[in-house]
Amino acid sequence: MTETAWQARIAENLRWVRERIAAALDRAGRQADEVVLVAVTKTFPATVVRAAAAAGLCDIGENRVQEAAAKRSELQGLAGVRWHLIGHLQRNKAGSAVELFDMIQSVDSLELAAALSRRAVGAGRAVSVLLEVNVGLEASKSGFPPHEEVLLRAVEGILPLERLKLEGLMTVAPMAHNPEEVRPVFRRLAALRAILQERYPEAPWGHLSMGMTDDYEVAVEEGATMVRVGRALFGQRTREQ
Ligand SMILES: *Cc1c(COP(=O)(O)O)cnc(C)c1O
């Protein structure tokens, strides 16, 4: 598919997704500009990232460091895009992650946060991070367990780390046939953020990154400030990650 064909497909899908988000915001009585739409381009080529940016999608989500590095080197001249890492990060890739991403949404241990901080200091950069919470306690997923004490302890360790900006929480909900089934997961993440916000009011707890193609409307109703959408914008992936 050519870049122009991609642009047409994305523009049409984007209209639909934006309408769904606006309707969900409206149902929840929220302001219209409260949700950042992160376009998840994993498995799609660099052309798709360029077409997405041309359609006005300036937040791009990738789940692998190497894949993102390859796309970024193909897209040298592409300005105005914020890159988000949304997949599990190994500590030995912390250095590349800091170079490649503006926000790392998948911080799942204090050790990883410390490694990112060291690398950010070394690179003279600041990096925004979200703590990933495994609300569904699924063995296949990473993230902190959804327990107040565990998160409070993690936050206590992370807040003093230099060059890291802790901006909120992220979760990947379990698979469900009906998105209503995962509403309690989103509600739980919002409740955990409220607890952390009360305890550490000095940290900017602005973001709740939750909701994907199958459940972003429910996530927005439950307070998502960021949704991460792939298939609804770009179509089915031919290879899963
Ligand atoms: C793939 C992925 C998404 C997007 O999934 P879709 O179902 O294509 O919208 C969002 N978040 C994470 C962490 C992902 O890995």
Give the domain CATH number at 227.
Answer: 3.20.20.10
Q: Is residue 241 part of a domain?
A: no
Rounded Cα gap, residues 229 and 42, in angstroms = 11
- Is residue 240, in this structure, part of any structural domain at all? no
Rg (CA), the chain: 17
Separation of CA 38 and ligand 1 centre (Å) = 10
**Does 67 map to a domain?**
yes
pTM of the model: 0.96
Task: Catalogue the long-range contacts made by 30-33 (C-beta closer than 8 Å, 24 or more residues apart).
Answer: 30/220, 30/223
Q: Which atom of ligand 1 is nearest to the CA of 216?
A: 9
Residue 88 and residue 116 in contact, taking contact as beta carbons nearer than 8 Å: no
- Please tell me what DSSP assigns to residue 175: P
Long-range interactions of 178-181: CB distance < 8 A, separation 24+? 179/214, 179/215, 179/217, 179/218, 180/218
Ligand 1, from 212, 216, 239, 241: best to mutate by most atoms within 8 Å of Cβ?
Answer: 212
Asked whether 179 lines ligand 1 (CB < 6 A), one says no
In a domain, residue 174? The reply is: yes
Q: Is 224 in the pocket of ligand 1 (CB under 6 A)?
A: no
Spacing, Cα 61 to ligand 1 middle (Å): 9
**Which tens digits make up the pLDDT trace of 61-87?**
999 999 999 999 999 989 999 999 999
Pocket test for ligand 1, best of 14, 36, 38, 40 (most atoms within 8 A of CB): 40
Task: State residue 130's pLDDT score.
Answer: 98
Stretches where the chain sits below pLDDT 70 are 240-241
| Protein residue with least CA distance to atom 7, ligand 1 | 213
Amino acid (1-letter code) at residue 32: A
Within a domain: residue 144? yes
**pLDDT score recorded for residue 33:** 75
Q: Which domain holds residue 223?
A: 3-234
- Asked whether residue 56 is domain-assigned, the answer is yes
Please tell me the distance between residue 241's alpha carbon and the centre of ligand 1 in angstroms.
10
Residue 241, pLDDT score: 57
Please give the pLDDT value at position 154: 96
As for how many domains the chain has, the answer is 1
Kindly give the pairing relationship between strand 164-170 and strand 207-209: parallel
12 belongs to a structural domain: yes
Amino acid code (one letter) for 52: A
* 213 inside domain: yes
